[in-house]
Amino acid sequence: MGDVMELTYAEALREALREEMIRDERVIILGEEVGVFGGAYKVTRGLLEEFGSKRVIDTPISEIAIVGSAIGMALGGLKPVAEIMYMDFLTICLDQLITQASKARFMSGGKLKVPMVVRTQYSLGRIHGSQHSQFFPSWFLQAPGLYLALPSNPKDAKGLLKASIRENNPILFVECGVLYRSKGEVPNEEYLTPLGKAEIRRKGEDITIVAFSRCVNEALKASEELSKEGIEAEVIDPKTLIPLDKETILSSIKKTGRLLIVSDDIKLGGIGAEISSMVVEEAFDYLDAPIIRIGAPFIPVPFSQKLEQEYMPNADKIVREVKRLW
């Protein structure tokens, strides 16, 4: 076998779950249709047969019960990985996530730990309508104690999930539905992708592009187009929003003097707003041009395929916005 293998994003997630379940018998999977059906997106396929119904648990259709049970398991010494089928449905269990899981360690003076992962996905780009396509990571910037991971490729999907399962803190692990069938190289050997450490996916001297989840790939496409016109973009994938690797972002801006932030969430009050504010506070003197934010418009996600595509950030929009600075 070679040093790497090609896996889809979904397969990489399954590998992470399986390896951690073999490594640690405390790892439990629970959620709607994760067992017999193998998961709505087949990420957990085959795990029930391998590990049994005590470790792969099909739950009732109740997000409150799923996350509440996971919190209890974690407080009791297990390492639950709970699945919420759509990110939209996190709104039903926000009290468990924000009031209970994220605060237990603080409220107990560090005596209580909640080592749990909540896996979910956002279906923007899959024509699932406004109630099954939402992406709202910035909401959780107001929940200290809760980590948030946003893998953009199969390698990080596996490495970040393994690292998240080994954490002693609650982690919201947000996958991207349109990436499940995307393929990429994944190391054969054991590895973890550290939380809170960004990766420079492409080096450049002219502008820094900070992109999240699906938009990392759009930023890389845009950077190749910009390069043809003599503009070399540096593309940064933070991988986790909480914790955020500010040092890598600021170091890049100090080199390029320009910044564009792109994410699938709504532009108003989104990821871009927080990062641009941080940069203005900590690196304003290094900026040679206004910061550009690309996000979704302030409307619900359209159901029409053409309208949904227009709603979403893409490489063409990135190229167009970057050119405004030259």
What angle (nearest 5°) sits at the alpha carbon of residue 292, between those of residues 297 and 218?
Answer: 70
Domain that holds residue 115: 4-187
Q: For residue range 52-89, list pLDDT tens digits in order.
A: 999 999 999 999 999 999 999 999 999 999 999 999 99
Please indicate, yes or no, whether residues 228 and 291 belong to a single structural domain of this protein: yes
Whether 93 shows a pLDDT value over 70: the answer reads yes
Number of independent structural domains in the chain? 2
Please indicate, yes or no, whether residues 213 and 98 belong to a single structural domain of this protein: no
Residue 296 lies in a domain: yes
Q: For residue range 268-292, list pLDDT tens digits in order.
A: 999 999 999 999 999 999 999 999 9
Looking at the DSSP assignment, which residues form a beta bridge with residue 235? Answer: 202, 209
Please indicate, yes or no, whether residues 122 and 223 belong to a single structural domain of this protein: no
Whether 2 shows a pLDDT value over 70: the answer reads no
Residue 101 lies in a domain: yes
Q: For residue range 235-263, list pLDDT tens digits in order.
A: 999 999 999 999 999 999 999 999 999 99
Looking at the DSSP assignment, which residues form a beta bridge with residue 42? Answer: none
- Domain harbouring 206, CATH code: 3.40.50.920
Q: What is the mean pLDDT of the chain?
A: 97
Please indicate, yes or no, whether residues 119 and 249 belong to a single structural domain of this protein: no
Residue 15 lies in a domain: yes
The DSSP element (H or E) to which 56 belongs, if any, is strand 56-58
Q: What letter represents residue 231's amino acid?
A: I
* Model pLDDT, residue 326: 83
Please indicate, yes or no, whether residues 178 and 65 belong to a single structural domain of this protein: yes
Residue 252 lies in a domain: yes
Whether 214 shows a pLDDT value over 60: the answer reads yes
CB 136 within 8 A of CB 83: no
Question: Which residue do the tokens 């996905």 mark?
Answer: 121
Residue 282 lies in a domain: yes
Domain boundary among 142, 157, 187: 187
Residues of the chain with pLDDT > 90, as a percent, come to 99
Q: What letter represents residue 46's amino acid?
A: G
Residue 88 lies in a domain: yes
Whether 1 shows a pLDDT value over 60: the answer reads no
Q: From the candidates 79, 119, 128, 132, which is the catalytic residue?
A: 132
Please indicate, yes or no, whether residues 203 and 306 belong to a single structural domain of this protein: yes
Please indicate, yes or no, whether residues 302 and 166 belong to a single structural domain of this protein: no
Please indicate, yes or no, whether residues 288 and 317 belong to a single structural domain of this protein: yes
Looking at the DSSP assignment, which residues form a beta bridge with residue 306? Answer: none
The residue length of the chain stands at 326
Please indicate, yes or no, whether residues 91 and 171 belong to a single structural domain of this protein: yes
In this prediction, residues 90-116 reach a mean pLDDT of 96
Active site residue 132: yes
Token reading at 227: 């390069």
Q: Edge-to-edge strand order for the sheet containing 233-237?
A: 199-202, 233-237, 207-211, 259-266, 292-296
Q: How far apart are CA 172 and CA 169, in angstroms?
A: 10
> Strand 147-149 relative to strand 240-242: parallel, antiparallel, unpaired?
antiparallel
Looking at the DSSP assignment, which residues form a beta bridge with residue 189? Answer: none
Whether 169 shows a pLDDT value over 60: the answer reads yes
Residue 194 lies in a domain: no
Domain boundary among 136, 167, 187: 187
In this prediction, residues 112-125 reach a mean pLDDT of 97
